[in-house]
Structure 1
Amino acid sequence: MDQHAHQTTASTLYPPCDPFDQRMVEVGDGHTLYVEQCGRPDGLPVVVLHGGPGGGCSPMMRRFFDPAIWRVILFDQRGCGRSRPHAAVTHNTTWHLVEDIERLREMFGIERWAAFGGSWGATLALIYAITHPDRLAHLFLRGVFLMEERELDWFYGGGVGAFWPKQWARFAEAIPEAERDDLIGAYNRRLFDRPPHEQVRFARAWAAWENALASVSSQGRSGEPGGEYARAFARLENHYFTHRGFLDHDGWIRANQHRMAHLPGDIVQGRYDMICPPASAYALAANWPDVRLDIAPFAGHALSEPGIAERLVAATRRVGEVHSREMRF
């Protein structure tokens, strides 16, 4: 992100805040999650679901909520961030994550809460809403990803590569030509069937391809993702995409969204989102009566895009003000 964009985003968000609670929570199957709480201990509860899968939460994610109103709960999903074991995919599926969210809700004694998530975080929020609609009060979604075959084909089958041919060539040419008809499968064999030091090389290529397209201001530059971060990010993302999100069939979210259609929601979508194009946000909103779809006209995919950040903060402020008198949903 360029310096102007960084300053604009920083001025949009609430001031940095430290957690009032940090803990490691055992969730079974050998997994322990990093969990933190920020803001007002008796405030409106919201769970923040990071992207990836495998991205982990960051301090910036705390700053989309007024700390005088919201009780913000963040956690690193299985296998990534500060959760352990690192980069592990055993007992790590969408349905394990849904169970983890419910475990945290019950542990904190919360009856209903809001969910805030972008990209894969939006996917997980939608699946949780379909599975537990009575436990949600509002959804804040960004960069909608519906875990559908057409979306994977767009990003890993060459569709978006037509816009970024140099970056696509770098991503694809890491794989022998004979295997390029299925890059998710080809990378899977290298992220899981090779020694860790070789996994890191392919993990960096996987992460760099996504990072290069995250922001309109990046202009295809990806930087150099750290080895351990990239390994967890790439292994988890590839694991989930190989198994198509562990959903029963393609189009599962849209086929089941009627179960959560009564819930209110906000969708913030970048017009030039190359990773999760606006078509998915429009398709979701078309059958969701109580949703606001807000298109940021000159934004891409990243949470830190100025147009994205401004609209998300406005949404959490509006919903917070409505419910702030009673401090409950």
Structure 2
Amino acid sequence: MSVDKPERELYPDIEPYTTEHLKVSEIHHIYIEQCGNRSGKPVLYVHGGPGGGTTPRDRRFFDPEVYRIILFDQRGSGKSTPAAELEDNTTWDLVADMEKIRVHFNIDRWVVFGGSWGSTLSLAYAETHPDRVKALVLRGIYAIRRCERNWIYQDGASIIFPDKWEDFIKPIPKAERGEMINAYYRHLTSDNKESRLQAAKAWSTWEMVISRLLIDEEMLNRTNNDDWTLGFARLEWLVIPYFSHYAAHGGFFESDGQVLNEVDKIRHIPCTIVQGRYDVVCPPETAWLLHKKWPEAEFYMVPDAGHSNREPGTTARLVYASDKYKTL
């Protein structure tokens, strides 16, 4: 295990050379883009959430001269359609979609790169199709265990940020605070504009507060702008029901922590695990448990980072990992 912070920047901005919507079911079409080297070594970027989406920045973790960089928005997320559709939307549907992308592009094996919920999905995919994965890069390990879900929105992060937690729960009546995710969903989708705005500001602020080691005050100040906050909230209206859907079903796994318990299936695959020491969204205990079950994998605990892949030490480690596997 290494705790040093190397100097390393993202690769320059790059535009896709193809974009498309692939039909993966009678309902769902998923957005896929490719950039970098058309005949290069394939790498799949798996975004977080559940219910997030990809961004142009996500392309920049990879050497575009070497990698054929593939990004996709999971069912109901980002540019995939229909938006926020939860029917036929489970972990195993998403795993199947990843395999459909591989077959669609006639790829034999690829590197899989995922963070946060993307680490969960990457592990689930690799454990289902271990012969199709050349290497894994995993960041901010999340196994969607009950204790992890409760930590963020019920009882855990609240202990570290008691002042900010008071602001988070303020829009929610005391009688509803036993199930904060469900309560926020109700308020964010309320017909009452003022109720929606108050909930949006509180939710947006909480998300920003806990995502980094040092709070980004510039981003935090944006929540004072009603138009910006409602715009952010519109995204959250998609993410919250999506997250609630997965949380209510335990990630659609047969057992709590299944992706950790089935690591023996993939211990032969090269892997790098990157974890922020002060990650409050995905606490380091889960990454440490994965490391203990998978001692062959490289493990980096970034000493001055939280959850975000935008923090310099985490960014550097991720780029170094993708550079390492471009020789496979």
Is TM more than 0.5 here? yes
Output the CA distance in 2 between the equivalents of 1:20 and 1:33.
Answer: 17
Output the CA distance in 1 between the equivalents of 2:81 and 2:154.
Answer: 32
Q: Which residue of 1 aligns with 2:3?
A: none
Match for residue 288 of structure 1 among 288, 294, 302: 294
Measured after TM superposition, the shift of residue 169 of structure 1 is 1.7
Measured after TM superposition, the shift of residue 204 of structure 1 is 5.7
Q: Which residue of 1 aligns with 2:179?
A: 182
Q: What amino acid sits opposite 2:29 in the alignment?
A: T
Measured after TM superposition, the shift of residue 90 of structure 1 is 1.8
Which secondary structure does the structure 1 equivalent of 2:211 belong to? Answer: coil
Output the CA distance in 2 between the equivalents of 1:201 and 1:260.
Answer: 45
Match for residue 313 of structure 1 among 299, 315, 319: 319
Range that drifts further, 120-129 or 22-31 = 22-31
Output the CA distance in 2 between the equivalents of 1:121 and 1:180.
Answer: 28
Match for residue 112 of structure 1 among 109, 120, 123: 109
Task: Give matches, 1:1-329, under 5 Å.
Answer: 12-190=9-187, 194=190, 202=199, 205-218=202-215, 222=220, 223-224=222-223, 225=229, 226-320=232-326, 322-323=327-328
Q: Which residue of 1 aligns with 2:226?
A: none
Give the % identical residues: 41
Cα 1:110–1:257 change in 2 (3 A) is same
Q: Is the 8 A contact 1:171 1:205 kept in 2?
A: yes
Which secondary structure does the structure 1 equivalent of 2:140 belong to? Answer: strand
Range that drifts further, 225-234 or 132-141 = 225-234
Measured after TM superposition, the shift of residue 205 of structure 1 is 4.1
Which secondary structure does the structure 1 equivalent of 2:298 belong to? Answer: strand
Q: CA RMSD in A?
A: 2.2
What TM-score do the two structures reach when normalised by structure 1?
0.88
Range that drifts further, 82-91 or 43-52 = 82-91
Per-residue CA deviation, residues 89-123 of structure 1 (Å, 9 max, x unaligned), is: 22211111111111101000011111111100001
Measured after TM superposition, the shift of residue 182 of structure 1 is 2.3
Range that drifts further, 150-159 or 265-274 = 150-159
Output the CA distance in 2 between the equivalents of 1:108 and 1:200.
Answer: 43
Q: How many residues are aligned here?
A: 313
Q: Is the 8 A contact 2:151 2:157 kept in 1?
A: yes
Output the CA distance in 1 between the equivalents of 2:97 and 2:210.
Answer: 30
Cα 1:282–1:45 change in 2 (3 A) is same
Per-residue CA deviation, residues 136-167 of structure 1 (Å, 9 max, x unaligned), is: 11110111111111111221222111111222
